[in-house]
């Protein structure tokens, strides 16, 4: 029968085992702190004892272990965004927004002393990871403060109707330019790539009236576009008709001028003939005149008005006869 009072063997902590454990810990720490990975959307800023050393691209890299060198991975190809006056809770096909509003960001005073709520977003990209890491303490807050001050300035320079309707694109373009100019002065290594106004809402008490005004502006723009369309349709047709009339008039003028020139040339030729033989030319002109007058007439009788002793008779039953001079 086995003795139940036998004491189990204890684990012996020897100096060799302690050295082995310490060595394994050192090797593990060495391996873990000597390599780092930078993905395709990042660049890594390397510091040695807190001082900038280099900027590394994507891939697996080695660094001095135990905190001698540190890596700070910065998203340089990813476009990041900031929201003002609202927050997005879930992105997707049906984006869901938070019900909470932030009037301290969106409530602004316009140039005509009205209050308006402006919600907007900015999109930015980091183009200098070294400047991004070392030239500003609270980088995201700095970007938000600059964006908010610029939009407040642009809204304060405009009337409320301009902010709500007609000047939205101008505010977005000027806002992006001004933000990049200020950030460039700070040398933060970041660039604003887009500014988008979301909702521009008038005060709650007069929102219905402003909606009516906005609808009236839309109707006005629609009528202007319809007028321009009618103008572009009718004016070319009227110009074509005018050109046709002008061409007809020019043709008529050319015809009259050519006919007049022909009459002049004919008169000059007849005049030359008359100078050579006046009597013959006068008689020929007389016959031509008589022929032109009676060219379409029939049964014509010519009577000499100097005939005094013979009574002229006309044969009413047959062909006309008469006394010729």
The dihedral sign for the CA sequence 312, 315, 316, 320: negative
Helix (H) or strand (E) holding 297: none
Rounded distance between C-alpha atoms, residue 270 and residue 193, angstroms: 90
Rounded distance between C-alpha atoms, residue 158 and residue 163, angstroms: 7
User: What 8-state DSSP symbol labels residue 309?
Assistant: S
Rounded distance between C-alpha atoms, residue 194 and residue 147, angstroms: 11
Predicted pLDDT at 315:
60
Dihedrals phi, psi of 53, to nearest 5 degrees: -120, -50
CATH, range 80-202: 3.30.479.30
What are the helix (H) ranges across 157-277? 160-161, 168-186, 207-276
Predicted pLDDT at 317:
54
Predicted pLDDT at 309:
57
Predicted pLDDT at 296:
78
Per-residue exposure over 123-133, b if at least 16 CB sit within 10 Å of its own CB, e if not:
ebebebbbbbb
Predicted pLDDT at 8:
53
Residue 298 CB coordination number (10 Å): 6
User: Mind listing the pLDDT tens digit of every residue in the chain (325 residues)?
Assistant: 445 554 554 555 677 666 766 766 666 666 667 888 999 999 999 999 989 999 999 998 888 887 888 999 999 999 999 999 898 887 767 778 788 888 888 889 898 888 888 999 999 999 999 999 998 888 999 999 999 999 999 999 998 888 887 889 999 999 999 999 999 999 999 999 999 998 888 766 667 777 777 788 888 989 999 999 998 888 888 888 999 999 999 999 999 999 899 888 888 888 887 788 888 888 888 888 888 887 777 777 666 666 665 555 656 555 444 444 4
Rounded distance between C-alpha atoms, residue 54 and residue 66, angstroms: 18
**Lookup: tokens for 51:** 């001082």
Q: Is 191:125 a contact under the CB 8 Å cutoff?
A: yes
**Lookup: tokens for 199:** 């909702």
Taking the domains of the chain in order of start, what are their residue ranges?
21-75, 80-202, 205-300
Predicted pLDDT at 276:
81
Rounded distance between C-alpha atoms, residue 171 and residue 153, angstroms: 10
Per-residue exposure over 2-41, b if at least 16 CB sit within 10 Å of its own CB, e if not:
eeeeeeeeeeeeeeeeeeeeeeeeeeeeeeebeebebeee
Predicted pLDDT at 325:
44
Q: Is 47:69 a contact under the CB 8 Å cutoff?
A: yes
């Amino acid at each position: 029968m086995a003795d139940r009072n036998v004491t189990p063997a204890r684990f012996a902590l020897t100096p060799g085992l302690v050295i082995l454990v310490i060595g394994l810990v050192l090797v593990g720490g060495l391996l873990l702190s000597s390599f780092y990975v930078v993905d395709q959307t990042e660049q890594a800023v390397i510091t040695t004892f807190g001082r900038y050393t280099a900027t590394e691209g994507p891939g697996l890299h080695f660094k001095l272990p135990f905190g001698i060198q540190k890596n700070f991975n910065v998203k340089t190809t990813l476009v990041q965004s900031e929201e003002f006056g609202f927050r997005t809770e879930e992105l997707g096909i049906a984006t869901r927004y938070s019900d909470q509003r932030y009037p301290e960001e969106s409530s602004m005073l316009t140039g005509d002393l009205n209050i308006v709520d402006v919600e907007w977003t900015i999109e930015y990209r980091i183009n200098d990871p070294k400047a991004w890491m070392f030239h500003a303490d609270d980088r995201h807050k700095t970007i938000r403060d600059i964006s908010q001050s610029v939009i407040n300035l642009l809204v304060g320079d405009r009337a409320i109707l301009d902010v709500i309707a007609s000047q939205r694109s101008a505010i977005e373009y000027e806002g992006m330019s001004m933000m990049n100019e200020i950030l460039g002065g700070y040398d933060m290594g970041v660039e604003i790539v887009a500014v988008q106004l979301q909702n521009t809402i008038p005060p709650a008490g007069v929102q219905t009236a402003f909606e009516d005004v906005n609808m009236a502006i839309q109707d006005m723009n629609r009528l202007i576009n319809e007028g321009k369309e009618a103008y572009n349709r009718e004016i070319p047709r009227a110009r074509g008709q005018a050109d046709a009339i002008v061409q007809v008039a020019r043709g008529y003028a050319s015809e009259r001028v050519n006919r007049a020139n022909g009459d002049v040339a004919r008169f000059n030729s007849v005049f030359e003939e008359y100078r050579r033989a006046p009597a013959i030319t006068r008689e020929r002109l007389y016959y031509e005149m008589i022929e032109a007058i009676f060219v379409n007439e029939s049964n014509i009788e010519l009577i000499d008005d100097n005939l005094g002793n013979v009574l002229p008779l006309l044969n009413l039953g047959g062909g006309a006869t008469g006394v010729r001079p």
